[in-house]
A and B are shown apart, each in its own frame.
Chain A
Amino acid sequence: MFSGAIEIESHPCYTQPRMSELTSSEISHLARLARITLSSEEEAKFAQELPRIVEFVEQLQKVKLDDDLATSVPTPLSAMREDVVSSDHLTLEQLEALAPDWQGGQVVVPAVFGEEADA
């Protein structure tokens, strides 16, 4: 659906196993995935900093791990709750105050589909 999805599969970022070789273009690709704009100064800085940070976290590969560790995050979630209708909710007036662009009870967004859209 989005042209970006096809970009992902063939991008060199995914055939290279190590971020330590991360180039400026790979960083700007990550930025696009994360929907962030980087200034050229930020791109240059991150090209220096990010590989060092990733090198730092790569030391995890040296850890001796137990065999039976789960891979889902261990948050002690509460037991299931009943479906109880809550009367606590935001009013349309409150939502209108927060939405940057509002019309007739709805949040206005730029076009998602069609010629106007660009994913």
Chain B
Amino acid sequence: MRDQFHAFLHPELEPIENEGDKLTGLKVAVKENILVKDWPATAASKILEGFISPYDATVIKRLKAAGVTLVGRTNMDDSAMGSSTENSAFGVTKNPWDTNRVPGGSSGGSAAAVAADLCEVALGSDTGGSVRQPAAFCGITGLKPTYGSVSRYGLIALASSLDVIGPLAHSAETVEKVFAVISGHDEFDQTTIDYHYESEEIDFSKLKIGLPKELWNLEIDQEIKAATQNFVDWLKSKGATITDVSLPSIAYALPAYYIILPAEASANLARFDGIRYQKSVQASKLLDQYLATRALFGREVKRRILLGTFVLSVGHYDDYYQLAVKVRHQVAREHQKAFESLDLLVSPTTPTLPFEIGAKAQDPLAMYQSDLLTVAANLAGVPALSLPTGFSSGGLPIGSQLIAAEKKDSLLLAVAKQYQQETDWHTRRPQ
């Protein structure tokens, strides 16, 4: 199938078929920052040009053992930093619903590939919304699992305390099948928890749902709010109890995220030094080799590395990084407290409809606002899912977000599956 959306990188790669029975023949695309042995892994960055993975990520090992067919590698923002895939060093991916618009990011290639039926499932990674936001922009279902429920071994690290690998597909049912296979403790990733996925049945009449007012009160497109309100009304019609809830620190989740993420990224990306990962701009002096090689990072990557260097430096550490960590703890604590009396939180996934290519590219702060509704779940480590809940009057997809307590990924999937049995948003396809 022709990839007119530039969802895939390295189109010369032949699919890899595998023996196994849990997911036999399932066509899976893999985001360019998840390692597949003998396939390139550039994280869509010039600094990893030519790098061929020497091993499989744990999630890939598990999928291979389940019998999937790996169909290719999907485009993303450079080093997973971005919300539109415009930061890819190898060209932007177009949204299949409107090729003048972005598919979201950083897992934009994955979302577009699923939406265009170039694969059945794609793997993405979500650090601040990078699975959920592109899922919403492309009219598909995307899960950010509980932090630690999926191994990060073989995922090129962005922010190690925030990164989670998650599946994207049209239906929650398919997302669930893949999540069941890839999740679970891994001896190669010490941040994984003891986790055994089990599907659950729900009694909607017992479900207690909260609408976080700090999210709903943000500046959000009216059509997105309306679609999410319709989704809430559906939950109510099924017997769930809906209440407003306040998580005051969520209002500060985005600034806290944009301190913690750059800090961790600046540390994680220090390893790309022109010595070990294939790509190198050689020089006779060590410092010059570092400087010349690391000039290959994309602009947004450099921006965030500088920010991270700043917030971690002497004289600024307490006022920025340490403060952000405290705010993060508070955000996590407020989520825990909310889930003592509630089962789910519901909000829109994105503040805007998919925007035009180029519309936010010149304004980093405007781009960061794309993550307004999604970052809190990463800070708190709790699972969150985006599912299609409607379309704008102009035919653009709308996604709504479900958030649950730690390890309650099964609840998100159960609600989404039931909704998708009674609605057809997730079955629609771009023209």
Chain A positions within 8 Å of B305 at CB level:
34, 36
**B332 contacts A17, C-beta separation under 8 Å:** no
**B282 contacts A74, C-beta separation under 8 Å:** no
**B314 contacts A119, C-beta separation under 8 Å:** no
**B193 contacts A78, C-beta separation under 8 Å:** yes
Q: Does A76 contact B (CB under 8 A)?
A: yes
Q: Does B430 contact A (CB under 8 A)?
A: no
Q: Does A101 contact B (CB under 8 A)?
A: yes
**With A69-B326, A107-B275 known to touch, is A63 a contact of B292 (CB < 8 Å)?**
no
**B284 contacts A59, C-beta separation under 8 Å:** no
Q: How far apart sit A97 and B54, CA to CA, in the bound complex (Å)?
A: 9
Which residue in B286, B299, B333 is a CB contact (below 8 Å) of A119? Answer: B286
Q: Does A94 contact B (CB under 8 A)?
A: yes
Chain A positions within 8 Å of B96 at CB level:
none
A-B contact pairs, 26 of them (CB 8 A): A17-B315, A19-B310, A30-B313, A32-B291, A33-B313, A37-B295, A42-B302, A53-B364, A53-B365, A63-B327, A64-B248, A65-B330, A66-B333, A69-B330, A73-B328, A74-B161, A75-B160, A76-B148, A77-B191, A86-B187, A88-B188, A97-B52, A100-B278, A110-B286, A116-B285, A118-B285
Q: How far apart sit A50 and B115, CA to CA, in the bound complex (Å)?
A: 35
Give residues 290-304 of B contacting A (CB, 8 Å): 290-292, 294-295, 297, 299, 302-303
The chain B residue sitting closest to A111, CB to CB, is B286
**A110 contacts B285, C-beta separation under 8 Å:** yes
**With A52-B365, A59-B255, A60-B255 known to touch, is A109 a contact of B191 (CB < 8 Å)?**
no
* Band of interface residues on B: 35 or more
**A81 contacts B286, C-beta separation under 8 Å:** no
Interchain pairs with CB closer than 8 A, number: 194
Q: How far apart sit A108 and B194, CA to CA, in the bound complex (Å)?
A: 41
Chain A positions within 8 Å of B417 at CB level:
none
Chain B positions within 8 Å of A34 at CB level:
266, 270, 294, 305-306, 308-309
Q: How far apart sit A19 and B311, CA to CA, in the bound complex (Å)?
A: 10
Which residue in B193, B258, B306, B333 is a CB contact (below 8 Å) of A57? Answer: B258
**B276 contacts A94, C-beta separation under 8 Å:** no
Q: Does A44 contact B (CB under 8 A)?
A: no
**A14 contacts B314, C-beta separation under 8 Å:** yes
The chain A residue sitting closest to B263, CB to CB, is A73
Chain B positions within 8 Å of A70 at CB level:
329
9 cross-chain pairs, A with B, having the tightest CB-CB distances, nearest first: A100-B280, A37-B295, A35-B290, A94-B54, A57-B255, A110-B286, A14-B315, A69-B329, A34-B309
Chain A at the B interface: SS class: loop
Chain B positions within 8 Å of A31 at CB level:
302, 306
Q: Does B371 contact A (CB under 8 A)?
A: no
The chain B residue sitting closest to A38, CB to CB, is B302
Chain A positions within 8 Å of B294 at CB level:
34-37
Give residues 64-102 of A contacting B (CB, 8 Å): 64-66, 69-78, 81, 84, 86, 88, 90, 94-95, 97-101
The chain B residue sitting closest to A28, CB to CB, is B306
Which residue in A100, A107, A119 is a CB contact (below 8 Å) of B287? Answer: A119
The chain A residue sitting closest to B286, CB to CB, is A110
Chain B positions within 8 Å of A100 at CB level:
274-276, 278-280, 282
**A101 contacts B280, C-beta separation under 8 Å:** yes
**B283 contacts A110, C-beta separation under 8 Å:** yes
B315 to chain A, nearest CB (A): 4
Q: Number of A interface residues, CB 8 Å?
A: 66
Q: How far apart sit A56 and B262, CA to CA, in the bound complex (Å)?
A: 14
**B187 contacts A81, C-beta separation under 8 Å:** yes
Q: How far apart sit A118 and B286, CA to CA, in the bound complex (Å)?
A: 7
**With A53-B365, A100-B274 known to touch, is A72 a contact of B327 (CB < 8 Å)?**
no
**Which of B125-133, B317-325, B353-361 contacts its partner?**
B317-325
**With A60-B327, A66-B330 known to touch, is A54 a contact of B307 (CB < 8 Å)?**
yes
**With A34-B305, A50-B307, A90-B54 known to touch, is A57 a contact of B259 (CB < 8 Å)?**
yes
Which residue in B54, B255, B284 is a CB contact (below 8 Å) of A56? Answer: B255
Q: Does B90 contact A (CB under 8 A)?
A: no
